Amino acid sequence: MAQQAHAAAVVVGVLLYCCLCLFVGVVAGEHGGGGGDIKRQYKAMFSFGDSLTDTGNICVNMSAVNRTELTMAQPPYGITFFGHPTCRCSDGRLVVDFLAEGLGLPLLPPSKVIGGDFRRGANMAIVGGTALDFDFFESIGVGFPFWNYGSMNVQLRWFRDLLPSICATAAPQGMYVVSCV
């Protein structure tokens, strides 16, 4: 059982690393391609991941977590840059914030914000996000309910659900190459 759990942990680690390498789906603008000002080449950015990229979904998605119990919803989190807690697992900005800024895009809002404007991008990441679904962790005896919030499949579903508000056409099934933004 310990060897199986170790193998599963290695698989999860590799998958999370791959997800972090691919965590940003940058949507090329009309003039995407080589040369020119990079800030003019991108119209939107969508990110996926865990606490390293969550810009606040853990606080928006409060189905089983009381906000007053969340450390990142209390000072000193957010104090360095925002001046108040933002539910980022940082006292300032995250790498995804610097990436958005470098591409000339606004900071990504959490995708679970009701009524948010996601035409310039959104963040699907959530604290405790995993590459594998909760059922896998439960099957090997490490089914802590916190991991049930945002597996990669859940984040991809959130993205698919968001597409109609971003695109004029219906969302396709399967993997996405978004060109409607």
Q: Indicate the helix (H) or strand (E) that contains 47.
A: strand 42-47
16 confidence band (pLDDT: 50, 70, 90): very low
pLDDT per position as a tens digit, 110-150: 998 888 899 999 999 988 888 888 888 888 887 666 556 68
Asked if the structure places residue 135 within a domain, the reply is yes
Please state, as a whole number, how many other Cβ atoms lie within 10 Å of the Cβ of residue 60.
Answer: 18
Instruction: Look at 9-23, 35-49, 86-100 and tell me which has the smallest mean pLDDT.
Output: 9-23
Q: Above 60 in pLDDT, residue 35?
A: no
Q: In terms of residue numbers, what domain contains 63?
A: 2-27+40-166
Calpha distance 87→38 (Å, rounded): 29
Classify residue 126: in a domain, yes or no: yes
| Parallel/antiparallel/unpaired status of strands 121-123 and 42-47 | parallel
**Stretch 70-82: mean pLDDT:** 87
Domain membership flag for residue 181: no
Residue 159 has pLDDT above 70, yes or no: yes
Q: How many CB atoms lie within 10 A of CB 126?
A: 29
Distances (CA, A) of 11 to 14, 101, 125, 132, 139: 5, 32, 20, 9, 15
Do you know the residue count of the chain? 181
Q: Indicate the number of domains in the chain.
A: 1
Q: What is the mean pLDDT of the chain?
A: 74
